[in-house]
Amino acid sequence: MHEIAERVLTGDPRAIARALRWIDDRVPQAEEILRDLFPSTGKAWVIGVTGNPGAGKSTLCDRLIEAFRKRALKVAVIAVDPTSPYTGGAILGDRIRMSRHATDPGVFIRSVATRGHLGGLSRSARDMVRILDAAGYDIVIVETVGVGQDELEITRTAHSTLVVMAPGLGDEVQAIKAGIMETADVFAVNKADKDGADATVRDIELMIALGGESLVAVGKIRGHVVHGGAGEAAAHGVVAPVGASHWTPPISRVVSTRGVGFDELVAALESHRTWLTETTAGQERRRARLAEELRETLREALIEAAEHDLAATMDLVVASVAARETDPYTATRELVEKFRARF
Amino acid sequence: MHEIAERVLTGDPRAIARALRWIDDRVPQAEEILRDLFPSTGKAWVIGVTGNPGAGKSTLCDRLIEAFRKRALKVAVIAVDPTSPYTGGAILGDRIRMSRHATDPGVFIRSVATRGHLGGLSRSARDMVRILDAAGYDIVIVETVGVGQDELEITRTAHSTLVVMAPGLGDEVQAIKAGIMETADVFAVNKADKDGADATVRDIELMIALGGESLVAVGKIRGHVVHGGAGEAAAHGVVAPVGASHWTPPISRVVSTRGVGFDELVAALESHRTWLTETTAGQERRRARLAEELRETLREALIEAAEHDLAATMDLVVASVAARETDPYTATRELVEKFRARF
């Protein structure tokens, strides 16, 4: 076993930081460590947190860390942070957030800049989660800044996805468009003491109620499994019945600035965790996500291998297609056969 | 040769419509026809038109059709139209636009709904362009509704991309973010008789001037070739000097509602076409785009072939990874080797 992997298993924060950096930089050692650590993963509960910036996601995450710490759980946070290529600056700051939990050895926070390669970041996020899982963190929170399609992909690597909304942002319809409804396992309405919080809760309820049919349609188009239906009980912190085939996202009201409503929010998240582990539908979903991951990494690996094997051929083929000696459709088929036949 | 392909070559509108529908529906005959027609393609000039909805893109396209028709050129338009899965309605309407050119046999307009699979649409758009190219249209306009990343991908299949802006939309900074600056070959400032048009032109000029370095950085990250630098002459409708290695997008002012400025806009577009065909940098760009297309279709074909070949194995591998008997990294490597070794 790689020395860094060994040290990660003991929870050494410097080894963890090194492993995460290797994943971020995509150095070859990263995969070695991930292979070493994989048998020690699968214990952490991974929570994705997403929502528009104005919703107060950072403050909410802070309170969520606090709530889990009260329960004696170790918490790690990966904040996916789309660094602007123009300013080079980070929107979220480790420093601001670290200050509150800096002295707590049970909390590990790391910002990951996206540096323009958002697509591949869902893979990096997943790999980083595994490091933190192997290092013994009970909870790993993956927080994204926005709610774009790529960021939803990242939260889809989580077991439970929490969508944070707030009154007065007018982002409900936008949320539907961006596919949040398919991704959300739990909703938190932050700033619940403000005017309009009731309306926001009602809007979400309406979306969930309407969601059944139209969301199934959208989900099918995108090749995703969409959940909706039962789960009312879960909204009140009650565990969903074993065998429930559908999951309806519960809605929790919180006031992050004052720490109000977090016991209920944690209960709502826990009800989703129970659904995932104790129902066949939940287990099937975990299996489907793993299959999805393998398909994704297989795709990447195939493309990499093909581009390596076919590099020389590609130039010839491009010239031949440009000269209209062959067509791109036939050329593609021939390239696939050539790649398959190489070994 | 397939009967439909033969009829497309004679310019039969019903055969063209059938071929486009087959591509949209991804039926197997589509590829057969595309193979048959490919040797007859490469003559049309493909113009991508993009920009925010408020910029008046449809009216501008209408005038552009008119301007090309005056020059006795046959024009086809593919309007990529993100149909909302919620309303099922089309934002652009064939009917509205057809009415003006309905009786003109030299104009063919077709809306293509995206039906949630925007990603694959750049491939469909490219294939549809080839049908219209083979059918004898001199100009093929590919128009998108918005300026999202996927839509920019679609306009990247064009030879020349026209970005439409208008005063007062406040979309300049957004345009940078969305990567428009990398994609734009020509800018049109529509509604140029309105207050703020000068400011919009200046903003675009500034973005182009600033673009050089920062855009090269962004372009590198995204793996694109970015053009910037010379080409001032082109801005005034003068042909860029042969051998110019860079292209700077000229800016045309138009008033689409009154048809003002379209001779200049067509001249600006033509200067880009000349740059593409008569400079080595332009030729290199065409070659690079073709190579990019082949890489894309190769990727799709590889994934399709792998998912076919490995379907049975995948389920076993997923079960094995879920049981932590193997890890996803090793499993992926083994799957790639298995696929390579299959033939």
- Residue B244 pLDDT more than 70? no
What is the pLDDT, as a whole number, of residue B175?
Answer: 55
Indicate the pLDDT class of residue B14, thresholds 50, 70 and 90.
very high
Residue A329 pLDDT greater than 80, yes or no: yes
Q: Identify the residue with better confidence: A226 or A241.
A: A241
Count other C-beta atoms under 10 Å from residue A326's C-beta. Answer: 15
Helix (H, G, I), strand (E, B) or coil at B213: helix
> Which chain A residues are Cβ-neighbours of B302 within 8 angstroms?
302-303, 306, 336, 339
A211: pLDDT strictly greater than 50: yes
Q: Is A295 on the interface with B (CB under 8 A)?
A: yes
Distance of residue B235 Cα from the nearest chain A Cα, in angstroms: 26
DSSP, residue by residue, B65-83: HHHHHHTT--EEEEEEE--
Spatial contact of A8 and A134, defined as CB atoms under 8 Å apart: yes
A6 or A302: which carries more pLDDT confidence? Answer: A6
Give me the residue label for tokens 């300026």.
B147
> Greatest CA separation found in chain B?
70
CATH 3.40.50.300 fits B40-279, yes or no: yes
Cβ–Cβ gap B298/A305 under 8 Å: no
Mean pLDDT (whole number) for B320-336:
90
Q: Is A328 on the interface with B (CB under 8 A)?
A: yes
Chain B: residue whose CA lies nearest to A218: B85
Query: Which residues in B lie closer than 8 A to residue A307 (C-beta atoms)?
Result: 295
Q: Which pLDDT band, with edges at 50, 70 and 90, does B235 fall under? A: very low
Instruction: Name the H helices within B169-196.
Output: 172-177, 180-183
Q: Which of A89-93, A309-313, B327-331 has the highest mean pLDDT?
A: B327-331
Cβ atoms A108, A132 nearer than 8 A:
yes
Given a cut of 70, is residue A170 above it in pLDDT? no
Pick among B117, B298, B327 to test the A interface (most A CBs inside 10 A): B298
Q: What is the pLDDT of residues B66-109, one digit of tens each?
A: 999 999 999 999 988 655 443 333 444 444 554 577 778 899 98
Token look-up 């005017």 returns: A195
- Rounded mean pLDDT, B25-39: 92
Using a CB–CB cutoff of 8 Å, tell me whether B299 touches chain A. yes
Rounded to an integer, the average pLDDT of B234-247 is: 50
How large is the average pLDDT for residues B184-212?
87
How many angstroms separate the CA of residue A223 from the nearest CA in chain B? 10
Compute CA distances A35 → A29, A43, A51, B118, whole Å.
10, 16, 33, 35
Q: Which B residues, 79 through 118, put their C-beta within 8 Å of a C-beta on chain A? A: 85-86, 115-117
CA of B191: how far to CAs of A76, A87, A200, B147, B164, in Å? 52, 32, 38, 19, 10
| pLDDT in the model for residue A52 | 79
Please report, for chain A, the start and end positions of each structural domain, with discontinuous segments joined by +: 44-279, 280-343
Question: Which 8-state DSSP code applies to residue A257?
Answer: G
Helices marked H in B55-148 — which ranges? 57-70, 94-101, 118-134
Residue scoring higher pLDDT (B136 or A225): B136
**pLDDT given at position A341:** 67
Task: Assess whether pLDDT exceeds 70 at residue A226.
Answer: no
A277 lies within 8 A of chain B by CB: no
Over residues A137-166, the pLDDT tens digits come to: 999 999 987 666 667 777 778 999 999 999
How far, in Å, CA of B62 to CA of B223, rounded? Answer: 34
**What is the Cα–Cα distance from B220 to B214, expressed in whole angstroms?**
10
**Interstrand relation of A251-253 and A186-189 (parallel, antiparallel or unpaired):** parallel
CB contact under 8 A, A305 and B340: yes
Instruction: Tell me if B214 and A310 make a contact (CB, 8 A cut-off).
Output: no
By mean pLDDT, which of A61-70, A254-263, A272-281, B164-173 is the weakest? Answer: B164-173
Q: What percent of chain A has pLDDT over 90?
A: 41
pLDDT higher than threshold 60 for residue A173 = no
Under 8 Å between Cβ of A330 and A300: no
* Per-chain mean pLDDT for chain B: 80
Lowest mean pLDDT among A217-221, A276-280, B139-143, B330-334: A217-221
| Band of pLDDT at residue B236, cut at 50, 70 and 90 | very low
Q: Which residue has the tokens 């294939």?
A: B127
**Distance set, CA A136 to CA A73, A129, B106 (Å):** 10, 11, 69
A310 at interface of B, judged by CB pairs closer than 8 A: yes
Strand order in the sheet with A75-81: A107-113, A75-81, A139-144, A45-50, A160-165, A186-189, A251-253
pLDDT band at A44 (very low <50, low <70, confident <90, very high): very high
Q: What is the mean pLDDT of residues B257-275?
A: 96
Minimal CA separation from A190 to chain B, in Å: 27
Read off the pLDDT of each residue in B17-45 and give the average, rounded to a whole number: 92
Q: Report percent pLDDT > 70 for chain A.
A: 76
Reference A151, options A167, A136, A159, A163; nearest CA is: A163
pLDDT, position A114: 57
pLDDT band per the 50, 70, 90 thresholds, residue A88: very low
Instruction: Work out the pLDDT band at B270, boundaries 50, 70, 90.
Output: very high
Is the CB of B314 less than 8 angstroms away from the CB of A302?
no
3-state secondary structure of B109: strand
Is B167 in contact with B150 (CB distance < 8 Å)? no
CATH H-level superfamily of A44-279: P-loop containing nucleotide triphosphate hydrolases (3.40.50.300)
Q: Average pLDDT of A231-247?
A: 48
Q: How far from chain centre, in Å, is Cα A98?
A: 21
What is the rounded average pLDDT of the residues A19-31?
89
Could you tell me the two tokens for B145?
């509704």
Q: Give B325's DSSP letter.
A: S
Chain B residues whose CB is inside 8 A of the A333 CB are: 301
What mean pLDDT do residues A61-70 have?
Answer: 94
Q: Is A185 helix (H, G, I), strand (E, B) or coil?
A: coil
pLDDT at A218 over 50: no
Provide the chain B residues 117-136 that lie in CB contact (below 8 A) with chain A.
117
- Residue showing tokens 């403050």: A59
A26 and B CB contact within 8 Å: no
pLDDT of residue A342: 53
Give the ranges where chain A is alpha helix by DSSP (H): 3-9, 13-25, 28-37, 57-70, 94-101, 118-134, 149-155, 172-177, 180-183, 197-222, 232-235, 262-278, 280-322, 328-340
- Phi, then psi, of A253 in degrees rounded to 5: -100, 130
A62-66, A86-90, B155-159: the lowest-pLDDT one: A86-90
C-alpha distance from A29 to closest chain B C-alpha (Å): 12
Mean pLDDT of B242-268: 89
Q: Which helix (H) or strand (E) holds B328?
A: helix B328-340
Q: Check residue A235 and give its pLDDT.
A: 39
CB-based contact B290 A322, cutoff 8 Å: yes
Nearest-Cα distance to chain B for A304, in Å, is: 10
Closest residue in B to A150 (Cα–Cα)? B149
- Residue B20's CB is within 10 A of a number of other CB atoms, namely 23
Residue B225 has pLDDT above 80, yes or no: no
Chain A residues with CB-CB distance to B293 below 8 A? 328
Mean pLDDT taken over chain A: 80
Q: Which residues of B touch A299 (CB under 8 A)?
A: 299, 303, 306
